[in-house]
Amino acid sequence: MRQSDTPHTGRSEADIAGQSAPLPAKPLLQVRDLTLQYKTPAHLVTATYRVDFDVLRSDRFILLGPSGCGKSTILKAVGGYLQPTEGEIRLKGELVVKPGPDRMMVFQEFDQLLPWKTVRQNVAFPLAATGKLSRKEADEKAMYYLDKVNLTKFADGFPHMLSGGMKQRVAIARGMAMEPDILLMDEPFAALDALTRRRMQDELLALWDETRFTVLFVTHSIPEAIKIGSRILLLSPHPGQVKAELNSVQEGQASAAEVEALANSIHDMLFADRIEEIDRG
């Protein structure tokens, strides 16, 4: 029998030698051959074409690419709001066919909170509405996560009393309170001013350090992708296809030169085609 014909036993040489080899982590989220299309009055638009990626538990996984490459459309499909034209999405091995509390979304817009409910009620609402907790338990958990985002002082205030950054922190607390398998974030800081955006990035990373939640994060900002992400998926211009998947550098563990080199490399990969077109022109 040739070596290539040897039946796969699931045991490595280290196992056979009596040494336990670590098994690779099983993906929490699997996206396979994902093609997404939607109709306009005049056209059938292909947003993504055969996109593949895996998200592991506790990943900070970034979808990065230019506007129109299908990043937000992928997020909607993972959320169960859009069915694939081709391919499939699996969460913990189960096919995603509809929305569910195991996937919570935080959007870019500030007006994602219910204006007639207090901050505390906004965070508690999905917990009580889905029947996961009693009203009292939901209220207690809401306060717990408001404390995580430093907003307990504003628990009895209303959304119109908050700044844009504070509203986003409430939305993050609401998503976290559901303790989903994966938190889906669609450019949540894009509408903030530069200083607030930087502070929100820092706060998100601090929260992740404490709870190690899994996040799938959409952005078109290279610096934001590097700062927040542990892994980054680069998507080509419309229709979105995978150009590369790479590890980010961890804040505090990389020099400014390493961060700049990664940013330049990502920029070159994302925009190489355009540079070639300009050169040919």
* pLDDT per residue as tens digits for the range 5-55: 444 444 444 454 455 556 677 999 999 999 999 888 888 889 999 999 999
> What's the structural domain count of the chain?
1
Task: Give the model's pLDDT for residue 277.
Answer: 46
Is residue 97 included in any domain, yes or no?
Answer: yes
**Which among 39, 61, 36 is positioned nearest to 50, based on CA atoms?**
36
Is residue 81 included in any domain, yes or no?
Answer: yes
Is residue 260 included in any domain, yes or no?
Answer: yes
Encode pLDDT of 152-179 as tens digits.
999 999 999 999 999 999 999 999 999 9
Cis peptide before 239 (omega within 30 of 0): yes
Q: What is the CATH number of the domain that holds 264?
A: 3.40.50.300
* 96/88 Cα distance (integer angstroms): 8
Encode pLDDT of 98-136 as tens digits.
999 999 999 887 778 999 999 999 999 999 888 878 999
Is residue 83 included in any domain, yes or no?
Answer: yes
Is residue 161 included in any domain, yes or no?
Answer: no
Of 10-14, 159-163, 188-192, 263-267, the poorest mean pLDDT is in: 10-14
Q: Which domain holds residue 264?
A: 27-102+182-189+216-270
Is residue 3 included in any domain, yes or no?
Answer: no
Is residue 175 included in any domain, yes or no?
Answer: no
Is residue 266 included in any domain, yes or no?
Answer: yes
